[in-house]
Amino acid sequence: MFRIQIPAVLAIAAVSATLAGCASSDELKARIAGRWGPNPAIQPSEVDVAIQGQVAVLRYIAEDAILPFPPTQESEWYRIAEWGFNIGRQDCEVYLDNLFRMNREKQRNDSIFTALNTAAAAIITGTTHAQKPLSLVAAAFGLTTAINDALFQSYLFTEAPGLIAIKVKELQDAYRDSVEKNEYPDGKSKQERRSLIRSPEAAFNAIQNYYRLCLPQTIEGTLLQAVSYTTAKATDPGKDPKETKSDSAKSLNAKVTLEKKASK
């Protein structure tokens, strides 16, 4: 009976490694090709592909939004950029929703592996007195849990997905508000406006900057920057707040809090 159980348990542990999926061959090739960064000299073929792609993005937005392309008025480039923001927000929300679901899947898998490990250990304990089979099962499920955590955490799970979603929305709202204020400044007439989005290159740049707010490296950098911009401050609620920091820090009842550093 035990000979049948051990292979089954090990098979479960091996199959679980594929729960989070693997990168495609094209993705791996792209990573290997770009591991040293961009080419130090701009290549004509790469420029042609990049510019055609950027123009195609603007054309698709204009055509789908029933706008002339190229626009007959410079102000229409701002409308194209706004549609690009909407697309970026939708893509980002899908991404953040996937992060939330994957986080719950990770927790679910860990719970399942823990339950299977407990059940397998109980079965083995009831059918044999040997310690070696029990240690093998524990090692197998320990490896399975570690692989599951490593795979899922590679998708930006060192932070709570709910916190990430809130922070990204704040960044996107702030960016869009700043662009709108440049387009419609308070107290200025239409002739006095000096919007930065009056050309195709400016429109694409604005859309790309908006997209960048939802990239994993941008999110991680923003959260780390928020932590680095804080400083530890010791306070004692039982003493006069006018005391010096050194006196407050010496108190046995002092509390340590994080406060945002004053900007220079």
Tens of pLDDT, residues 69-81 = 989 888 899 999 9
Quote the DSSP letter at residue 191: G
What is the reported pLDDT for 233?
63
- Check residue 249 and give its pLDDT: 45
pLDDT of amino acid 135: 77
Q: For residue 233, list its beta bridge partners.
A: 257
Contacts of 19 (CB under 8 A, 6+ apart): 105, 109, 148, 151
Output the pLDDT for position 186: 63
Q: Are 80 and 60 in contact (CB under 8 A)?
A: no
Give the side-chain half-sphere CA count within 13 A for 262. 2
Distance of CA 9 to the CA centre of its chain: 34
Structure tokens at 259: 């406060």
Q: 3-class SS at 113?
A: helix
- Sole residue written with tokens 């059940």: 119
Question: Burial of 26 by CB count in 10 Å (0-12 exposed, 13-18 middle, 19+ buried)?
Answer: exposed
Burial of 5 (0-12, 13-18, 19+ CB in 10 A): middle
Q: How many CB atoms lie within 10 A of CB 228?
A: 9
- pLDDT at res. 222: 85
N-to-C CA span, the chain? 72
| Binned average pLDDT, 10 residues per bin, the chain of 264 residues | 47 47 68 81 90 95 91 90 95 92 86 84 75 76 80 71 89 92 67 73 95 91 79 60 51 52 58
How far is 6 from 4, CA to CA, in rounded Å?
Answer: 6
Report the candidate in 183, 181, 171, 180 with the shortest Cα–Cα distance to residue 209. Answer: 171
In degrees to the nearest 10, what's the CA dihedral of 97, 101, 102, 104?
Answer: 140
Look up tokens 């006018």; give the residue. Answer: 242
Helix (H) or strand (E) holding 233: strand 230-235
Whole-prediction pTM: 0.68
Distance CA 116, CA 98 (A): 26
CB distance 227 to 186 below 8 Å: no
